Amino acid sequence: MTSPDTLKVGTPFDPADARRTAEAPRLEASLDDKKPLMSAQQALAEANRCLYCADAPCIKACPTAIDIPTFIRKISTGNLAGSARAILDANILGLSCARVCPTEVLCEGDCVYNEMDSPPIKIGKLQRVATEYAYDRGLQFFERGAARPGRVAIVGGGPAGLACAHELARLGFESVIFEGRELPGGLNSTGVAPYKLQLPDAIREVSYVLEIGGIELRTGVKVGQDLTFAQLEADFDAIFVGVGLGPDGVLDIEGEDLEGVVGATVWIERMKLEPGFGLGGVKKAAIIGGGNTAIDVVRELRGLGVDDVVMIYRKDGAAMSGYEHEWSAARIEGARAQFWTQPVGFTGEGGKVTGVRCLSLKPMGPDESGRAWVEPIPGSESVIGADLVVLAVGQSKLESMMSAVEGLAFDKGRLVVDAETGQCSNPRYFAGGDCANGGKEVVNAAAEGKRAARGLARFLDARAQQEADHG
């Protein structure tokens, strides 16, 4: 690979260094694995329950279309390497997806056993058995394709960027990933709940993806600051954008700047990555929001031993966007909710937060147009005591980061992409993951990164052909 100026910024990824960093003591390491690895006997018994359905609904429910009956059958015959290969062939992030996928609403949610009032096949757990078998033995199934002309800059070293880079390598194209943080992995490293996946495994997966070759990864490079999109356009044939979402949303209410009021992704990232970061004696925590990030924080704080963890949400449990199974688990673990409640400010003492000032809400409507809304109940103000308040009210989009690029279309802050190819309205740009889908699962990002790699291959081949035709 040639070395243009763009390859001098940041630090080349060193798997051994990253592994050492990941193994330093961090708060997330004290949280238990909620879905521990099955034993070989358990895996065999579970695999033997599978009906190997024709036209299997579980495959259709998987965004990466893993051939689930095939990988399960291979487990049942003791061919764990073949099983892992089938998984990773469809989804190179199969190791992390086995842990972090909401299987309850994806493959397992569509397993035919649900219609027979029997528990669905534990597909996620079986996938974990097979992929960990391969990783533990250093089994590498993939190699670079024969070289084809075309180099791609990948902005963002998270699931979408990694999946895109790996598929490009299999297709014979070189790529350079520019990751803004010091550690790659995106949400798998910085944001996934530690009872599902922790940093050492996220780094292990990144290293595995890169083993194929033809992918250079440079960390600590903020595109837009350390490197411009114009430089990338000058040095690369095409650009894939997989930058995820932006900073935590805020409420803009009184007291939000008090110590102890933090954004959810900031708090999770510190808990997962920062050596020495601790709870600092927190006894009462309030989490504002009703999505999956809010529930993750609730469960993490309970798991870390915080006595009183309350989720504050402006509607009721049925209206929450977080998964029902995750909220049920949080309640079993001792969390509670304060529904129909709206924060209007924070109380503090000595610069530190002491509570959340709230109003009770009442549901209104629906009106003639079917619209429902909530209204504050006059005189209902109360204070919920808290020495930590975590705001999980969404994340901003990174549209402004891309403002210097001509011809990109956005819809509500999301990059608009072609549904078949992931190509943006500026044809040299492709995108996938949260910045294009608005915030979905790791498995969606993996699928969209791979889709874009195939779109990029068509684009680069056409470009090379054009250049050949014009001598």
- Whichever of 4 and 109 has its CB closer to ligand SF4, that residue is 109
SS3 category, 362: strand
Strand ranges, E, within 316-385: 336-338, 341-349, 352-364, 373-376, 382-385
Residue in 56, 130, 223, 286 binding ligand SF4, rule: CB under 6 A: 56
- Residue by residue, DSSP assigns 154-211 as EE--SHHHHHHHHHHHHHT-EEEEEESSSS--THHHHTS-TTT--HHHHHHHHHHHHT
68 binds ligand SF4 (CB under 6 A): yes
Residues in region 77-136 near ligand SF4 by CB under 6 A: 111-113, 121, 123
Residue in 1, 24, 51, 332 binding ligand SF4, rule: CB under 6 A: 51
- Whichever of 112 and 250 has its CB closer to ligand SF4, that residue is 112
CB of 303 to ligand SF4, least distance (A): 30
Residue in 69, 194, 355, 432 binding ligand SF4, rule: CB under 6 A: 69
Q: Residue count at the site for ligand SF4 (CB under 6 A)?
A: 14
464 binds ligand SF4 (CB under 6 A): no
Contact 419, 452 (CB under 8 A): no
Q: What angle do CA 369, 371, 373 make, to 5 degrees?
A: 150
- Whichever of 118 and 465 has its CB closer to ligand SF4, that residue is 118
Distance from chain centroid for Cα 79: 30
Residue in 1, 40, 45, 53 binding ligand SF4, rule: CB under 6 A: 53
Among the residue ranges 45-53, 131-139, 235-243, 244-252, the one whose residues contact ligand SF4 (CB under 6 A):
45-53
Provide the pairing of β-strand 215-219 with 11-12.
antiparallel
Task: Report long-range pairs for 230-236 (Cβ below 8 Å, ≥24 apart).
Answer: 230/404, 231/5, 231/6, 232/6, 232/153, 232/155, 232/178, 233/428, 234/4, 235/4, 235/5, 235/6, 235/151, 235/153, 236/6, 236/151, 236/152, 236/153, 236/176
57 binds ligand SF4 (CB under 6 A): yes
- Whichever of 54 and 468 has its CB closer to ligand SF4, that residue is 54
- Whichever of 69 and 455 has its CB closer to ligand SF4, that residue is 69
Residues with Cβ within 8 Å of residue 349, at least 6 apart in sequence = none
Residue in 52, 147, 283, 411 binding ligand SF4, rule: CB under 6 A: 52
- Whichever of 27 and 123 has its CB closer to ligand SF4, that residue is 123
Among the residue ranges 47-55, 160-168, 195-203, 312-320, the one whose residues contact ligand SF4 (CB under 6 A):
47-55
Is the C-alpha dihedral spanning 88, 93, 97, 99 positive or negative?
A: positive
Residue 116 is which amino acid? M
Among the residue ranges 55-63, 128-136, 191-199, 300-308, the one whose residues contact ligand SF4 (CB under 6 A):
55-63
Q: What residues line the site for ligand SF4 (CB under 6 A)? A: 50-53, 56-58, 68-69, 111-113, 121, 123
